[in-house]
Amino acid sequence: MIESILYLIITVIKIVIIVLPIMACVAYLTLAERKIIGYMQVRIGPNRVNLSLLPGIRNLRGFGQPIADSVKLMFKEIIIPTNADKFLFVSAPILALAPALAAWAVIPFADGWVLADINAGLLYILAMTSIGVYGIMISGWASNSKYAFLGAMRSAAQIISYEIAMGFALVGVLMAAGSLNLTEIVMSQKGSFLHWFWIPLFPLFIVYFISGLAETNRAPFDVAEGESEIVAGFHVEYSGMLFAVFFLAEYANMILIASLITIMFLGGWLSPFEGIPLLEYIYLPGIFWFGAKVAFVLFFFLWTRATFPRYRYDQIMRLGWKVFIPITLVWIVVLGLLILFKLPPWFA
Amino acid sequence: MIKFTFYLFSLILIFASVRVVTVKNPVHAALFLVLAFFSSAAIWLLLQAEFLAIALVLVYVGAVMVLFLFVVMMLEINFSQLREGFVRNLPVAGLVGALILLEMVFVVGAWQNVPPPVATEIPNIVALGQVLYTDYFYPFEIAAALLLVAMIAAIALTMRPHNRAKYQKPDQQVSVNREDYVRIVNIPSEAKD
């Protein structure tokens, strides 16, 4: 009995150690987004809230912005619409955030740095990301508002459509790695950056990245926000902290998708220089490479947002069903052949 | 510890299943069904049947129930109408319920109380895959073909081609030229007087 309680306490501590940095990353991802898009549009971005860690250093302008924002959101009034389903209205943001955080349980941050090293890791991820839809659907329905409801229907339909293409991309990864365990998937990409799966699985890599954008309701697939069409989406009626929780979920999902891309296609925590003469002596801890790769993928997320105009809704559906699903299906067959003929260096 | 977890999830499961039937609002009923699926998945996890548990969440919670919710949320439901036929349908429903109960008693009663076999060295996904693609290859493929046929049949039944419908042709949309739509007209300026 004592042992199991101790085990429970240690697990909770581990969870806190994982969740707190993720929340910090979420907060600063919002700042990164505003700064990067700002510079891409030749502006400075947020630059008022100064966070000076050391007195005299003045170049950290804007770095206190996420903290200021969260304090502001916490003190805002939460307005619940008339005749709304109160319980579901309040629990919808939580239902959106919980699976986005639960999925982190199986993510290996470095060699052995994983909360639950389960065999069915990839399936678990797929199951957790598929639950995220409930937050959106329930929020739209519980708001008792037609705008919110229409927005919820749109984004829910979009998310479940792109989930299929994403699932098929995962099938490609598990075929290539021969395992559903995320640690083993990373280890099967051992070698330099040419050994990672992004080369043999290139079409799946691209499909997964774009589906990831659609899955997290990011631009150019952000019809959930669609300022020019439907004011906002499923979260029109939300205010204050409840609204913020939806955004926490969106950004946590972005970081999750970025780390999944890192693990499945970009070699996880492995150094890109392994096996390359001279360069292979650069030694940095695995967590550094993992973080660098995740940041790199996240930069692409933000870059796309600054670059592309929003898709029309029917075009989103066409892209998901008629372009991505056939591409993934064809590449799974091609991949089967590559594995059958033991194409070096990946499947030798 | 395992016992505690088992009873916790069983209680949630029973509560959720009862509420599925008794709750008035169909959306709430669907959400309670989701909760029921979730707790049964948790109980399966205790049996170390992790593949089945995750597949239950993935397929039923992640896909089937979402579509259910779509339908239920779109319906305009008249609550008084829903409760109308209760007395009239009671005998039939009671009979069917009693039959199902009887069958359950026979099935569960005949079941020997052996401890559930615990997964061996091979992870159960690997084991399942090996059995599915060797011993049970034909049933597996036939089931897949059946599903495909059902899908095609469903699409064929619902798709009624009618001439008034307008479709977009993306290839034509992509290949338009400026010359097709824009004509530059040179209008000479009028003389000032």
State how far the alpha carbon of A135 is from the alpha carbons of A132, A145, A345, B87, B156, in Å. 6, 16, 43, 37, 33
Contact A137 B125 (CB under 8 A): no
Mean pLDDT over the full length of chain B: 84
In a domain, A345, yes or no: no
Q: Same domain for A224 and A316?
A: yes
How many angstroms separate the CA atoms of A248 and A240, rounded?
12
Report the gap between the CA of A315 and the closest CA in chain B (Å): 9
Contact B125 A124 (CB under 8 A): no
Contact B62 A163 (CB under 8 A): yes
Give the pLDDT of residue A332. Answer: 94
Nearest chain B residue (CA) to A122: B54
Contact A127 B58 (CB under 8 A): yes
Report the gap between the CA of B167 and the closest CA in chain A (Å): 11
Q: Which of B8, B73, B169 to mutate to test the interface with A (most CBs of A within 10 A)?
A: B73
Contact A120 B62 (CB under 8 A): no
**pLDDT score of B113 more than 70:** no
Contact B70 A163 (CB under 8 A): no
Which range is most confident: A26-30, A129-133, A152-156, A310-314? A26-30
In a domain, A146, yes or no: yes
Radius of gyration of chain A (CA): 21
How many angstroms separate the CA atoms of A304 and B40, rounded?
41
**pLDDT score of A281 more than 80:** no
Contact A133 B62 (CB under 8 A): yes
Q: Which two tokens stand for residue A5?
A: 């309680």
Contact B125 A119 (CB under 8 A): yes
Per-residue pLDDT, averaged over A91-95, amounts to 91
Question: Confidence band (pLDDT; 50, 70, 90) for B81?
Answer: low
Domain boundary among A75, A96, A126: A75
Residues A254 and A301 sit within 8 Å (Cβ to Cβ): yes
Residues A193 and A320 sit within 8 Å (Cβ to Cβ): no
Per-residue pLDDT, averaged over A113-138, amounts to 88
Which residues in chain B touch residue A137, judged by CB atoms under 8 angstroms apart? 66, 69-70, 73
Which residues in chain B touch residue A88, judged by CB atoms under 8 angstroms apart? 31
**pLDDT score of B120 more than 70:** no
Give the pLDDT of residue A34. Answer: 92
Residues A234 and A140 sit within 8 Å (Cβ to Cβ): yes
Residue identified by tokens 């597949």 is B55
How many angstroms separate the CA atoms of B72 and A172, rounded?
35
pLDDT digits (tens, 9 = 90+) for B9-56: 999 999 999 999 888 888 899 999 999 999 999 998 888 788 889 989
Residue length of chain B: 193
Contact A127 B123 (CB under 8 A): no
Q: Same domain for A198 and A65?
A: no
In a domain, A80, yes or no: no
Q: Same domain for A110 and A148?
A: yes
**pLDDT score of A250 more than 70:** yes
Q: Same domain for A155 and A29?
A: no
Count contacts between A and B (CB, < 8 Å).
Answer: 60
Q: Same domain for A186 and A269?
A: yes
Question: Confidence band (pLDDT; 50, 70, 90) for B143?
Answer: very high
Q: Same domain for A199 and A318?
A: yes
Report the gap between the CA of B57 and the closest CA in chain A (Å): 6
Give the pLDDT of residue A157. Answer: 87
Contact B73 A137 (CB under 8 A): yes
Question: Confidence band (pLDDT; 50, 70, 90) for A343?
Answer: confident
Which residues in chain A touch residue B170, judged by CB atoms under 8 angstroms apart? 318
**pLDDT score of A119 more than 70:** yes
Let me know the angle formed at the C-alpha of A66 by A63 and A68, rounded to the nearest 5 degrees: 95
B1-77 adopts what CATH topology? Answer: Four Helix Bundle (Hemerythrin (Met), subunit A) (1.20.120)
Per-residue pLDDT, averaged over A332-339, amounts to 92
Q: Same domain for A147 and A279?
A: yes
Ramachandran angles phi, psi of A308, nearest 5°: -100, 145
B62 touching A, CB under 8 A?
Answer: yes
Give the pLDDT of residue B118. Answer: 60
Structural domain boundaries enclosing A322:
86-340
In sequence order, the 6+-apart residues with CB closer than 8 A to the CB of B26 are B72, B75, B77
Q: Which two tokens stand for residue A151?
A: 């927005």
Residues A265 and A176 sit within 8 Å (Cβ to Cβ): no
pLDDT digits (tens, 9 = 90+) for A315-329: 888 888 999 999 999
Question: Confidence band (pLDDT; 50, 70, 90) for A63?
Answer: confident
Give the pLDDT of residue A326. Answer: 93
Per-residue pLDDT, averaged over A141-152, amounts to 86
Mean pLDDT over the full length of chain A: 87
Per-residue HEC secondary structure of A208-262 comes to HHHHHHHHCCCCCCCCCCCHHHHCCCCCCCCCHHHHHHHHHHHHHHHHHHHHHHH
In sequence order, the 6+-apart residues with CB closer than 8 A to the CB of A261 are A205, A208, A209, A212, A297
Q: Same domain for A176 and A318?
A: yes
Question: Confidence band (pLDDT; 50, 70, 90) for B78?
Answer: low
How many angstroms separate the CA atoms of B30 and B46, rounded?
25
Give the pLDDT of residue A37. Answer: 92
Question: Which residue did the predictor score with more confidence, B63 or A229?
Answer: B63
**pLDDT score of A209 more than 90:** yes
Q: Residue B31's CB: how many other CB atoms inside 10 A?
A: 25
Q: What percent of chain A has pLDDT over 90?
A: 37
Residue A101 DSSP SS3: helix
In sequence order, the 6+-apart residues with CB closer than 8 A to the CB of B3 are none
Lowest mean pLDDT among A21-25, A154-158, A294-298: A154-158
Which residues in chain B touch residue A171, judged by CB atoms under 8 angstroms apart? none
Q: Which of B179, B170, B21, B31 is nearest to A317 (CA)?
A: B170
Q: Which of A155, A130, A156, A162 is nearest to A323 (CA)?
A: A162
Report the gap between the CA of B31 and the closest CA in chain A (Å): 9
Q: Same domain for A147 and A270?
A: yes
Question: Which residue did the predictor score with more confidence, A61 or A317?
Answer: A317
In a domain, A346, yes or no: no
Q: Same domain for A65 and A124?
A: no
How many angstroms separate the CA atoms of A313 and A327, rounded?
21
Q: Same domain for A55 and A138?
A: no
In a domain, A347, yes or no: no
Give the pLDDT of residue A228. Answer: 67
In sequence order, the 6+-apart residues with CB closer than 8 A to the CB of A21 are none
**pLDDT score of A58 more than 70:** no
Residues A210 and A203 sit within 8 Å (Cβ to Cβ): no
Q: Which two tokens stand for residue A288?
A: 């550094």
**pLDDT score of A23 more than 60:** yes
Question: Which residue did the predictor score with more confidence, A260 or B73?
Answer: A260
Sign of CA dihedral A182, A188, A193, A196: negative
Q: Same domain for A20 and A94?
A: no
pLDDT digits (tens, 9 = 90+) for B85-103: 777 888 898 999 999 999 9
Which residues in chain A touch residue B123, judged by CB atoms under 8 angstroms apart? 119-120
* ipTM reported for the complex, 2 dp: 0.85
Give the pLDDT of residue B125. Answer: 80
Question: Which residue did the predictor score with more confidence, A257 or B190?
Answer: A257
B123 touching A, CB under 8 A?
Answer: yes
Contact A119 B34 (CB under 8 A): no
Give the pLDDT of residue A261. Answer: 94
Per-residue pLDDT, averaged over A268-285, amounts to 80
How many angstroms separate the CA atoms of A320 and A225, rounded?
19
The answer for A91, left when phi > 0, alpha when psi is -120 to 50, beta otherwise, is: alpha
Which residues 60-119 of chain A have a CB within 8 Å of chain B?
88, 118-119
Lowest mean pLDDT among A193-202, A319-328, B109-118: B109-118
A215 touching B, CB under 8 A?
Answer: no
Contact A123 B170 (CB under 8 A): no
Q: Which of A230, A234, A223, A231 is nearest to A312 (CA)?
A: A223
Per-residue pLDDT, averaged over A185-201, amounts to 87
Nearest chain A residue (CA) to B122: A119
Domains held by chain A: number: 2
